[in-house]
Structure 1
Amino acid sequence: MTAARLVLSTLLVSAAASAPAQTTFKYRRDILRDDPTEAVTVVPLDAPVYAGTRDGLPDVRLRDDRGEEVPFAIRVQTKGRSVLVREPVASRVESLKVIEGEALEVVTVLEDDAPEPDGAAIQTPLVDFERRVRVLGSLDGETWTPLAEGRILDYSRFMDMRDVDVAFPARGFRMFKFVIEHESDEQRSPYYQLSRARDGDEERRAETETILRRPFRVDRVALHRAVRGVEGEEPTTTRAALAVERVEVDPRERVTRIEVAAGRLPLTRLSLRATSRNFHRPARVLRPTDAGWVDVGRGTLSLYQLGDFRREELTLDFPETRADRLRIEIEDGDSPPLEVVGVDGDSVDRRVEFVAAAGRSYRLEYGSDAADAPRHDADAVLAALGPGAPQEVATLGPVVANPDYRPSPRRAVALGGAWMLLAVVVMTVVLAWAILQAVRRADKAPTDGWG
């Protein structure tokens, strides 16, 4: 029996020695460090990593040059949320002058302790108007320097569009003159007066349109300045152009569908580039699932442009989504489809962080169908080290197919390789049993009389 054990032990050791190292991670990439000293190392993740990993990034590993797994943390890069706040500037109306048939002039003066403004809102109760406004600045009320020209407008009759703001540069003036061209306007009445007259056997009809002349009333000229501040934290994002794979106009449902290649990037926003102007369309973003396309976000796309005036909102925000493809569905109604020339996507910036040892090299492995998320204490360690610890930013080298990659057992089953695996196991067991029986027979065989 001792000989049988020896043979089996030798067989197993030989098989283990000859078996190649295997891994379920498809790809590997070297981490390129400029300074191989001990430091907290930050490695930004890029598009190839997202394209080859699963949701939540459970199939990412970090190994050193000895093949040992290294603890790491995947963190979202953040920054302070920059906000632009409109701060009112105290002022008073110094004079009001009506130039008949030409303009309305309003002169405002800053209060003694008021900061310098960079804009004003011409507040009026009127609707359905458009006016050109010139802004001039002065220190003494005698010499006036032109600062800016703009338009205020209200198109309520056609759409919900109103803009009464005028921006101008801050150049040290304490008095401002606002020249609003045309102190009055003509407004057509929506009603017509019909009249009939008969001349013998012939009947004549006439339509009379009423034109109303109204003064342009200004309730107040409210000066303000824009102040930039920081509010809370928000993830940083990277914008990239996405390939448009398909554009479909559905005349029956009166929608336009645009499909883009999302590359499994962690997207939170899509932005359209369009050549169409003056539109206001509801839209939504969808992702594919086994049950079909499902909503991930909704919004409104708009672009208004007339003369020097331009205002646009061509972005659609949604919760972070990773998918191979995304679809934008725009409700056209009875309007012509939009001319979209491109789509950009904003993806959340994530990075691998770990403590690199001096003199060691590292590689990132990813892309497994079965790997579970690792349980490391790197988050606690990195938090304890704090922002003052030595830090370096490294980059990822080229994508290399892992030569030791083997599909996981679950993947093998999914691909129909389970029968082959079972056959190999059965053959191995049968072979081991045959060898064991042969050894047992050899142990029991009678020996001759030699020694």
Structure 2
Amino acid sequence: MIRKTLVLSFAIMFLVVTPAHADFEKENWQYYKKVEPEKKGFSLIRLDQEVLTRCQNNLNDLRLVSSQGDEVPYKLIQVEPSTMETYPVQIINDVVRENEFSAVTLDMERTARLNNNIMFEITSKDDYLRDVLIEGSNDNQNWDTIIKSKIFRVGNNGQDEVSYPPASYRYIRVKIDCKGKEPLDIKEVKVRFIPKKKNDFNLITAKTISNRQDPETKTSEIIADLGVKGIYVNDISLQVSNDNFDRGIEGYYSYDKKEWHAIGSGRIFNYSWTDYSASQENLPIHERVGRYVKIRIQNQDSPPLNVKGIEVRGRYPALLADLNNENHYLWYGNLVSEFARYDLNRFAHLVDLDDLPEINPGSENINDKYVAKETSKRNLLNIITVAAVIVVGFIILKNLTSKK
């Protein structure tokens, strides 16, 4: 009887603190915009400054709804970099099974690193033709198939790289089948993004709000305000008037100028003398950022550079959705909604985005039926309930132990 009571107590706790899944309810969203498709099928819906300003930082509260009130699946599309990128990866698992396969699991260190090519360095004294399976995961547990392909080597000729539709998983797993032969020895794996087309990025207004020197750390810091969070930034360029320098730089973004997140590092340089000149004054980013960006320059013992300003190139993000030939509505402005998980997330990378219709949503409308949720009271109730159940469970366990 005591055991049943204990189980019931914890069951009640689980039901109370676990929020139930609910369909889209208009009264939970503050704003909406009309979306008018050109035709039936996949389209890109370009977000704007109003939407990004009202949304959560992670854009979890975006919802696309049909005229009948049905929720329409969408995928937030990551913009492709304009230049080839090779990403640093860490091999966190290396497995070889005789007569079966060789496999490696790669950690990309974070999500949002768009890639579409893997190149292998393989040691083998024999020619080979092998099947390759490439999978992706964001938790190193649940895996999606990215592509099935082949690699081969005949003498000095062969194909030791695999291309696939752009993906951005945190973890990548590569499995090379042996077909009953000696497993291949994978010495190195390079994960790259190779652009297939030139993206046209816009110049994003970036107002410099701070430009200071720190003598203790021997660094310069420039902070700029982009005016809105959520913009996909391709690169940041520094406007430097000095000649003949070579410095390390780091990039960061923030939503509030208090907590900063690293987004890249590199070097800027300018060499200029008789019969020779070369320069590199931009930092590749390829990521959605907060409203504020910061560049830190490592001066070491050299005098600070004269940085007149920074230029940011990027684009507003877009949603991919399969639309009917009718009006839809983009809802946003729900501070407590969670990330929507749709089937489309698993196969959106297979959709060719070239030549898809691009839709700009209409003017912003305020939802007059919006009702703010009192999340603070709900959370306090959950805490009190959990504490009460824990106390009751402790008492029951104590009584159960004393009777043995």
1:28–1:364 Cα contact (<8 Å) kept: yes
CA distances 1:4-51 after superposition (whole Å, capped 9, x unpaired): xxxxxxxxxxxxxxxxx8533233222244x3x423222123344333
- Go from structure 1 to structure 2 and tell me whether the alpha carbon gap of 1:340 and 1:321 turns closer, same or farther (over 3 Å shift): same
Structure 2 CA distance for aligned equivalents of residues 79 and 286 of structure 1: 18
Which residue in the other structure is 2:225 paired with? Answer: 261
1:244 is matched with 208
- In the alignment, which residue of structure 1 is the partner of 2:370? 405
CA distance in structure 2 between the partners assigned to 1:316 and 1:341 by the alignment? 16
Deviation readout 1:394-428 (Å, 9 max, x if unpaired):
112233443333323326779x9x9xxxxxxxxxx
The residue aligned with 1:302 is 269
* CA distance in structure 2 between the partners assigned to 1:245 and 1:392 by the alignment: 37
Equivalent residues of 1:297, 1:319 under 8 A apart: no
Query: Matched residues in 2 for 1:294 and 1:387: separation?
Result: 32
> What RMSD in Å do the two structures reach over aligned CA positions?
3.9
The SS at the match of 1:370 is coil
What is the one-letter code of the residue matched to 2:328?
Y
Match of 2:297 among 302, 326, 330: 330
1:273 paired to 2:239: yes
Q: Name the counterpart of 2:34.
A: 30
Correspondences of 1:22-421 after superposition (within 5 Å): 23-33=27-37, 35=38, 37-78=39-80, 231=194, 236=199, 238-262=202-226, 263-264=228-229, 265-267=231-233, 269-288=235-254, 292-293=259-260, 295-306=262-273, 309-318=276-285, 320-347=287-314, 350-358=317-325, 360-378=326-344, 387=352, 391-410=356-375
Structure 1: runs of 5+ lacking an equivalent? 1-20, 84-229, 419-451
SS of alignment partner, residue 342 of structure 2: coil
Deviation at residue 315 of structure 1 after TM alignment: 1.6
Note the C-alpha offset of 1:258: 0.8
Is the 1:53–1:367 Cα contact (8 Å) retained in structure 2? Answer: yes
For 1:43, give the aligned amino acid: I
Letter in 2 for 1:259: I
CA contact (8 A) 1:235 1:348 kept: no
Q: Distance in 2 between matches of 1:382 and 1:261?
A: 32
Deviation of 1:78 (Å): 3.8
Structure 1 residues 412 and 301, CA gap change in structure 2 (3 angstroms): farther
Would the aligned equivalents of 1:246 and 1:258 in 2 still touch at CA under 8 Å?
A: yes
User: Are 1:39 and 1:392, in contact at CA under 8 Å, matched by a contact in 2?
Assistant: no
Conserved? CA contact 1:235–1:349, under 8 Å: no
TM-score by length of 1: 0.46
- Contact 1:238 1:349 (8 Å CA) reproduced: no
CA contact (8 A) 1:301 1:314 kept: yes
Q: Within 2, Cα distance between the matches of 1:285 and 1:368? A: 30
Cα distance, 1:61 vs structure 2: 0.5
**2:52 match: secondary structure:** helix
SS in 2 for 1:49: helix
- Between the two proteins, the alignment pairs up a number of residues equal to 246
The structural deviation recorded for 1:294 is: 5.4
Whether the 8 Å CA contact 1:39–1:391 is kept in 2: the answer is no
CA distance in 2, matches of 1:308, 1:233: 35
Question: How far apart are residue 65 of structure 1 and its match?
Answer: 3.0
**Structure with the larger strand share:** 1
Please identify the structure whose Cα radius of gyration is greater.
1
TM-score, reference length from structure 2:
0.50
1:369–1:411 contact (8 Å) kept in structure 2 = no
Instruction: Determine helix, strand or coil for the equivalent of 1:50.
Output: helix
User: Structure 1 residue 321: deviation in Å?
Assistant: 5.0
Q: CA 1:321–1:41 in 2, change beyond 3 Å: closer, same or farther?
A: closer
The match for 1:165 is none
What is the alpha-carbon distance in structure 2 between the residues aligned to residue 233 and residue 242 of structure 1?
A: 29
Matched letter for residue 278 of structure 1? N
